[in-house]
């Protein structure tokens, strides 16, 4: 076990208040295996929609003390109580060191986080820590990346839920570079993603969540990588399989 990590393992106890989340493949698998050990500064959770990767990440965030909609441990806003009760049943094994920083960042509710930052800035100056401009005055991708570049200071625990939803491929690469800089500053990341670009981060742990369970998987064996590779190697063939498009029509473009 890596003593440098802030979060070393995630387990699940008996359900305190069972809800739909306990029927999700990822949650059932975690209950069977007892706990999921984290051994690298960067851990990815990968899986099809509906497997429970975002629900599990949200529960970990809430159990750590983050706002379920996103933000720091000091964000207390709530626009809708839609998060699962799973967090009440999680058991987090923490490392000996405490992080000095932390953030739960999710593309899905980023608008609400940006609104809360503007509200708090009216009480006490806050925008300087987020780049000096309202996040609402930038595009979704620009504001998302600006938050990471300006607000994440290092020595922190950062949870990201499908960040690629807000980012172009070029911005995903910029996020990779920022992530690496923060790892070098003693940070730890837990990221739910479908992005083959983000998954390429060197020496990361990748856990694939499915009906089979939670399996540690090499990058080149993940579905996002394999599917993207297959498409780029022969896009006309895949489009023909999907759409019945003739190869000649594709080549004419």
pTM comes to 0.86
Query: Number of C-alpha atoms within 13 angstroms, CB side, residue 201?
Result: 27
Please name each of the domains of the chain with its CATH number: 7-217 (3.40.50), 222-253 (no CATH)
Whole-Å CA distances, 230 to 168, 223, 236: 21, 10, 11
- The dihedral region occupied by 195, where left means phi > 0, alpha psi between -120 and 50, and beta the remainder, is beta
Helices marked H in 152-193: 169-183
Whole-Å CA distances, 246 to 72, 130, 160, 237, 249: 51, 49, 40, 9, 5
Tens digits of per-residue pLDDT, 24-77?
A: 999 999 989 989 999 999 999 999 999 999 999 999 999 999 988 777 766 655
Provide mean pLDDT across the span 7-18: 81
Tens digits of per-residue pLDDT, 107-137?
A: 765 656 666 666 655 555 555 555 556 656 5
Tens digits of per-residue pLDDT, 239-252?
A: 898 888 655 555 55
pLDDT class of 199 with cuts at 50, 70, 90: very high
CB atoms within 10 A of CB 21: 21
The tokens for 29 are: 């698998």
CB 5 within 8 A of CB 95: yes
Rounded-to-integer distance, Cα 129 and Cα 145, Å: 13
């Amino acid at each position: 076990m890596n003593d440098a990590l802030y979060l070393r393992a995630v387990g699940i106890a008996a359900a305190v208040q069972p809800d739909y989340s306990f029927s999700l493949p990822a949650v059932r698998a975690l209950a069977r295996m007892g706990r999921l050990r984290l051994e690298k500064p960067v851990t990815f959770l990968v899986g099809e929609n509906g497997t429970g990767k975002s629900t599990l990440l949200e529960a970990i965030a809430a159990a750590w003390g983050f706002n379920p909609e996103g933000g720091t441990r000091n964000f207390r806003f709530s626009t809708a109580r839609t998060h699962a009760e799973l967090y009440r049943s999680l058991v987090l094994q923490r490392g000996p060191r405490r992080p000095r920083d932390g953030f739960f960042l999710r593309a899905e509710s980023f608008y609400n986080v940006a609104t809360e930052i503007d509200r708090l800035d009216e009480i006490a100056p806050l925008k300087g820590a987020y780049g000096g401009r309202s996040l609402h005055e930038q595009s979704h991708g620009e504001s998302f990346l600006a938050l990471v570049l300006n607000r994440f200071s290092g020595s922190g625990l950062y949870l990201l839920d499908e960040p690629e939803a807000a980012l172009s491929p070029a911005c995903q690469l910029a996020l990779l570079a920022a992530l690496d800089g923060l790892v070098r500053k003693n940070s730890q990341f837990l990221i739910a993603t479908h992005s083959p670009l983000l998954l390429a981060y060197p020496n990361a742990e990748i856990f694939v969540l499915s009906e089979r369970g939670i399996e540690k998987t090499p990058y080149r064996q993940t579905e996002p990588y394999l599917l993207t590779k297959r498409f780029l190697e022969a896009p006309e063939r895949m489009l023909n399989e999907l759409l019945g498009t003739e190869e000649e029509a594709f080549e004419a473009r």
